[in-house]
Amino acid sequence: MDFKEVMNELEALGKERTKKIYLSNGAHEPLFGVATGAMKPFVKKIKIDQSLAEELYATGNYDAMYFAGIIADPKAMTKEDFNRWIDDAYFYMLSDYVVAVTLAESPIAQEVADEWIASGDELRMSAGWSCYCWLLGNRKDDEFDKSKLSDRLDQVKENIYDAPLRTKVSMNNFLYTVAISYIPLSEKAAEVAEEIGAIEIKRERKKNGVLHAYENIQKDLDKGRLGFKRKYMRC
């Protein structure tokens, strides 16, 4: 399938109800409103195509950008490529669920994620923390530096209250993921989460929410999910 065929297919799959959901979460025009599951049949036809992925991502169309992440070749992408993608990721569903996921399958994932966490930019920081969540939930524990991740837990404890909204959410997810998916620091992550407690999330035009990593950690530990690893990161 070429660029035009993919765009026509995405447009045909768009649903007004799904579009409204995406818009309410921060997406803006152009977009079609395609459910991610509806993309799978023609993902199988294309598989990996970095050139096509770049064309789609450059459209600024949310659905095309999401699809680009699925068919991209992370191992072929450079740091400059990922920085260009995060520059165009204008809301969290792109930064955390497209760019961060794609980065997580790259050999330079931790290097780039570390730079984004240190950037001071809300969505870059969010993507950096999210990338670690995707990594920890998929890769073997021995692929990580325990001391480095321990320092990251301390960083969350010190900074989560004052972090920007989306960064705060991703930091909270990081606590949960370390506790469930990274056995060497599971106890420390749970202790940090308990110390942090509940964090209120204030959102424009929506009801305020509450983050409580410790409660979610305990629920999943009780279900025997310690050491959980997902088989795939992307669709």
**Planar angle of CA 192, 98, 127, nearest 5 degrees:** 35
- 209 near 201, Cβ under 8 Å? yes
Write out pLDDT tens, residues 19-64: 999 999 999 999 999 999 999 888 888 999 999 999 999 999 999 9
| Local confidence band at 89 (pLDDT 50, 70, 90 cut-offs) | very high
Write out pLDDT tens, residues 183-217: 999 999 999 999 999 999 887 777 888 999 999 99
- pTM value is 0.95
Rounded to the nearest integer, the mean pLDDT of the chain is 96
Q: Is the pLDDT reported for residue 235 higher than 70?
A: no
Rounded distance between C-alpha atoms, residue 51 and residue 71, angstroms: 10
Give the residue ranges of DSSP H helices in the chain.
3-13, 16-24, 36-46, 50-57, 62-71, 79-88, 92-94, 100-104, 109-117, 122-136, 146-159, 165-181, 186-196, 213-222
| Local confidence band at 18 (pLDDT 50, 70, 90 cut-offs) | very high
What's at 225, amino acid-wise? R
Write out pLDDT tens, residues 154-179: 999 999 999 999 999 999 999 999 99
Average pLDDT of the segment spanning 105-120: 98
What the block records as the tokens of 118 is 């240190």
